[in-house]
Amino acid sequence: MTSPKSVLITGCSSGMGRSSALALHRLGHRVYATARRPEALAALAAEGITTLALDVTDEASMAAAVRHVEEAHGSVDILVNNAAYGLHVPVEAATAQEIRDQFETNVFGLVRMTQLVLPGMRRAGRGRIVNISSMAGRFSPPGGAFYHASKHAVEAISDSLRLEAAPFGIEVTVVQPGPTITEFGSTAVATMGAEADPADPYGRFRAELADMYARRTFRRRNGAVPAETATKVIVRAATARRPRARYAIGALARTVMLAKRALPDSAFDAVMRRNFPLPAPRSTAAAAAR
């Protein structure tokens, strides 16, 4: 391999963040795995990985983590912006705080981490930023407006940043996983408020959406990929000599994103209607319940 790099990864308490930290460490890189709760990183620390507390909604903890790496190595060579979660709730039903929280983690935290590492990367004349987006950054199904909007934002920010950072020797690449078999699915289901409330016009829809995500979406037979597959792509994005602008993970992700580009909106909406539950007017829902 090439010389070891200093790698700072957010959101390593589980899933792709944890497995990517371990994989990059085993390749000989100097990995700094971070999470809001340092105790969640005990298994990584036992492997010899340096672990740090880092909350992407807290300025002081973000700055402290970047400073820690820069004091040891001069700059962060590779930043993997992985921390994120999925809010799934109807647009009408979402509270302002829920929407702010979604963007604080998935967008503003990613932006601030990027801003903090860029000066050191510019001084070093090199660096790489890997933004974990999603196939969600290319389409929006019912119930997923704000999570998907946050990933659309990551895509747009990454496109601008790739052009802005290149003259300084800094590379920017995006990873677009489809459904991945990690804890993400259960976290998403927990945001849906799946208890069907007869007074809630979206109650049945929420329950059906939660059931779909819990029973079908994050299953290998339905196109979800193992965490190990996603990890290999993230490692490639972080270490390739000439990284691509984007890496899609999984046949389902590539197929859906291609369909979104190729089909007119009316046809793509028809695909969404066939594959996702939709709210039903109260009279229709009542008749279906009888």
* Element housing 15 (H / E): helix 15-26
Q: Which of 13, 75, 134, 158 is catalytic?
A: 13
Query: How confident is the model at residue 214, as a pLDDT?
Result: 79
Does residue 163 lie within any of the structural domains? yes
Q: Could you confirm whether 147 is annotated as catalytic?
A: yes
Query: How confident is the model at residue 221, as a pLDDT?
Result: 62
Does residue 151 lie within any of the structural domains? yes
Does residue 216 lie within any of the structural domains? yes
The pTM for the full model equals 0.90
Does residue 121 lie within any of the structural domains? yes
- Which tokens in the block code for residue 144? 């997923």
**DSSP conformation letters of 194-262:** -S--TT-TTHHHHHHHHHHIIIIIT-GGGT-EEHHHHHHHHHHHHH-SS--SEEEESHHHHHHHHHHHH
Does residue 1 lie within any of the structural domains? no
Does residue 234 lie within any of the structural domains? yes
| Strands annotated E in 27-134 | 30-35, 50-53, 78-81, 127-132
The per-residue pLDDT for range 24-79, each reduced to its tens digit, is 999 999 999 999 999 999 999 999 999 999 999 999 999 999 999 999 999 999 99
Beta bridge partner(s), residue 129:
79, 172
Domain region containing 176: 6-289
**Using CB atoms within 10 A of its CB, is residue 200 exposed (0-12), middle (13-18) or buried (19+)?**
middle
Does residue 62 lie within any of the structural domains? yes
Q: Could you confirm whether 6 is annotated as catalytic?
A: no
Q: Could you confirm whether 133 is annotated as catalytic?
A: yes
Residues 6+ apart with CB under 8 A from 261: 138
Give CB contacts under 8 A, 24+ apart, made by 260-266. 260/138, 260/139, 261/138
Q: Which of 147, 202, 213, 247 is catalytic?
A: 147
Query: How confident is the model at residue 211, as a pLDDT?
Result: 85
Give, as one character, the DSSP assignment of residue 130.
E
Query: How confident is the model at residue 286, as a pLDDT?
Result: 52
Does residue 60 lie within any of the structural domains? yes
**Number of domains composing the chain:** 1
Q: Which of 133, 134, 150, 158 is catalytic?
A: 133
Find the CATH number of the domain harbouring 182: 3.40.50.720
Asked if 239 and 232 touch (Cβ cutoff 8 Å), the reply is no
Q: How many of the other CB atoms lie within 10 Å of CB of 68?
A: 17
Q: Could you confirm whether 151 is annotated as catalytic?
A: yes
Helix (H, G, I), strand (E, B) or coil at 177: strand
pLDDT at 184 over 70: no
